[in-house]
Each structure stands twice: as structure tokens, then as C-alpha cells.
Amino acid sequence: MKTRLSLLALFLFTSLSLSAQEIKIGLVAALTGQSAQSGEAITRGLTIAIEELNAKGGIGGRKLVLIRRDDESSPPKGVAAARELISNEKVSVLFGGIDTPVSLAIVPIANQSKVPFMGVWAAGTNITRNGANPNYVFRVSAQDDLVDIALLRYASNKMGAKKPGLVLINNPWGESNERGLKAAAAAANITLAGIEKIEANDVDVTPQLTRLRNAGADALILVANAAPGAQMMKARERMGWKVPVVSHWGISGGRFDELAGPTAGEAHFVQTYSFFAKQNEAGKRVFAALAKNYGVKSPADVLAPVGTANAYDAMHLVARAIDKAKSTDGEAVRKAMYEIDLHEGLIKTYKRPFGPTDHEGLAPEDYIMVRFEAGKIVPVP
């Protein structure tokens, strides 16, 4: 109780003591509920980047402050939170979370109020391609359409699949990929064995997999987060079905191998970054900070590494733009985003990451295919 009270006091204190000197960075993400760990991962990436920047004296002498709001994965809550951050807190930049619908709901507000909105997780295609001009929405994350093409290509080229079946989480993210995968399959002239939905709360998905097996699926393409993804792997194992599994990055949370059990390694999945591989300078720095601030002991303890990695890089990119613009004015920052030429990031070295027609920081060639092996994520050769 005492800690809770002091925590409350701390929040009150920090929110009151903000001075005009500081640059406010807003985050609207799921901090509670089913997707709570995504919000936590993003928070960690942003916090580490901000601490690094502040340690160097901030941007133009102004310190950065992160202000977070919980959207409870609900679009209306997200809209209210974004408006509050923009109108009341007067944040300079807004970061988004895991849920595509929440991001889609925030997009028009960001464009209207001319506040740059940086997506670091939600991969829905029309978040950045929203038709607005000027467009204030940027992204350092995967884009579903592109990931879907990569997944299908991997399944047919590497796994020899002729008739893959889709296992999709029954939510907006699953649906966004359903469209993407269907389009990719049509383009590649591949017939899909079937499309099955799984719920975040499903205890047993054997019926769905049975339908796919009966339909003749020779590979499974999985789009789901770690917990439901693990449910699918467990059902597959119980059925004794040795079908290859190619997965979107949802299962990349550190605990997928614990949740899915012995067959976890049989799922190959896409990733923007892995803390298991040989680390570059930024990787070492970030991991040290994670260890120091959050008690992370091994790469397996990093929850949802894509969230942390994307957020970390995106924060640094935004900082560069603010630095270049010498202002926190939204219009100026947006234009300065196009001016970033070279940035040594965690995921890669960014070269002119953004342009007036390209608001995606990452491209398909940045995706890597990985799998779990003995508690580690290792790249698939």
C-alpha cells in the first residue's frame, strides 16, 4: 500500500514538475489487458533511448520526457488519450502501440493537429497509407502486406508448400493479414487450403487444425501472439501432425518456447531484430540497459523484443529529426524526418529511411527468419 501511494505521489510529482523546457514524447499503447506486455516492451525501448539522449544533454539542451497513456486496446479510449496528450500535455510526437484499430483511430487526429505519429508495432497497411496529405504518420515496424508476401514466399520456396493453410488470430491484426495473405497467394498463384481463426482465449484449437489437415494443408502460416500461437503448436503436437509452420512475428515474445513446449522450435518466424544473434554496438548498449533497469538476465527474458527494438530505433530517429528541425513544431519535424540521411540503429543502419512518399522505416529486406532453439532465438539459415 505504501509503495502504491508513493508511486502515486511520484506520478503526481512528475506530471506537475514538467517544465516548458522539456520535450514531451507521448505514448498511447495497451498497458493493461491481453496485450499489456506489448505496451511494456515499447515503454522499455523508448525509455532506454530517452535516457541515452538525456545523458548526452537532451536535444538542443532540452530534456526529453515520456508521458504514457493506457488505451486498454480500445479505439475510443485511444482517441481520448491521444487528444488529451495533444491538447493538454502538448506532446511534440506521439508513439503508437500494438493495436491496428487504435492506431487507425488516432491517425486522423494526428494529421488534423499536425503532430507526428510514429507507429512502432501495429502493422496495418493503411496506418501509413492513410490518404492524408500532408501525412504525419511514420512507422518503424513491419507492414503486414510486405510481411505476408515474405511469409508466403518462405513457405513455398523453403518449405515446399503447395497448399498452405492459414491460422489467424480472430482480431484486427489477423484480419489485416488475412487480406494480405490472400492477395499474396493470388499474386503468386498459390491456392490456400483454408483459413481458420483462433481466439486469444482458446484452450484447445484441435478442431481448427483438423479442418486444415482434412483440407490438405501442407504448411501452416500462423498470425497470432505468443500465447494463442503456443496453443496452436500444442494442438499440432497432440495431433502428431508434422506440418511446417511459418509465423508472423507475434510469437516472438521471450516465452513462446516455454508456452509451446517441445515443438516450439518447429515454428519459423519473421523478426526485425533478435537479441540472441551477434550484437552490434547498439545491441550491447540496449541489452545492458535492459539488464540494469528491468532485471533482464538473458535474451530469453526480453519480452516482445520487436517492440523494444522498434521503439528504440524510432525514438532515436525522431530525436534526429527534432534536432535537425531545431524545433518541436510538428510541420518542421515532419519535414526534417525526410532529411535524416544516416543513422546507426539497433535493427540496421538507416540510410534516408523516410521520404515524402515512403513513411516506412523498415523494408522487407530487413526482415529475418528465425526460430527458437534451446531457449534462444536463432536465425534460420
CB closer to other proteins, 14 vs 191: 14
Which residue number, 124 or 353, has a Cβ lying nearer to other proteins?
A: 124
Which phi and psi (to 5°) does residue 274 adopt?
-130, 130
Q: What span, in angstroms and rounded, lies between the C-alpha atoms of 320 and 64?
A: 13
Report whether the peptide linkage leading into residue 134 is cis, meaning its omega lies within 30 degrees of zero: yes
> Shortest approach of other proteins to residue 100 CB, angstroms?
7
Nearer to other proteins (CB atom), residue 179 or residue 335: 179
Strand pairing partners for 377?
A: 372
Shortest spacing between CB 266 and other proteins, in angstroms: 15
**Minimal distance in Å, beta carbon 381 to other proteins?**
28
> Considering just the CA atoms, what is the radius of gyration of the chain in Å?
21
Give 238 or 292: the residue with its C-beta nearer to other proteins.
Answer: 238
Beta-bridge partner residues of 368:
271
For residue 377, the minimal CB distance to other proteins (Å) is: 15
Shortest reach from residue 147's CB to other proteins, in Å: 16
Q: Which residues of 218-252 are buried (b: 16+ CB within 10 A; e: fewer)?
A: bbbbbbbbbbbbbbbbbbbbeeebebbbbbbbbbb
Least Å from the CB of residue 366 to other proteins: 25
Residue 318, amino acid = V
Residue closer to other proteins by CB (options 109, 315) is 109
371: closest CA among 242, 299, 274? 274
Compute CA distances 298 → 17, 311, 375, whole Å.
36, 20, 10
**Among candidates 314, 334, 343, which has minimal Cα distance to 110?**
334
Looking at the Cβ atoms of 176 and 247, the one nearer to other proteins is 176
CB 109 → other proteins: shortest distance, Å?
Answer: 8
Backbone angles phi, psi at 225, to 5 degrees: -80, 180
Residue (145 or 336) nearer to other proteins, CB = 145
Please tell me the total number of residues recorded for the chain in this structure.
381
Q: With respect to other proteins, which residue has the nearer C-beta, 64 or 337?
A: 64
Number of other CB atoms surrounding residue 70 within 10 Å:
19
Give the shortest CB-125-to-other proteins separation in angstroms.
Answer: 10
Q: Is 221 in a helix, a strand, or coil?
A: strand
- Euclidean distance between CA atoms 233 and 348, whole angstroms: 31
Phi, psi of 196 (to 5 degrees): -120, 145
Give dist(CA 223, CA 251) in Å, integer: 8
If the CB atoms of residues 239 and 342 are measured against other proteins, the closer one turns out to be: 239
d(CA 370, CA 104): 29
Smallest distance from other proteins to CB 345, Å: 25
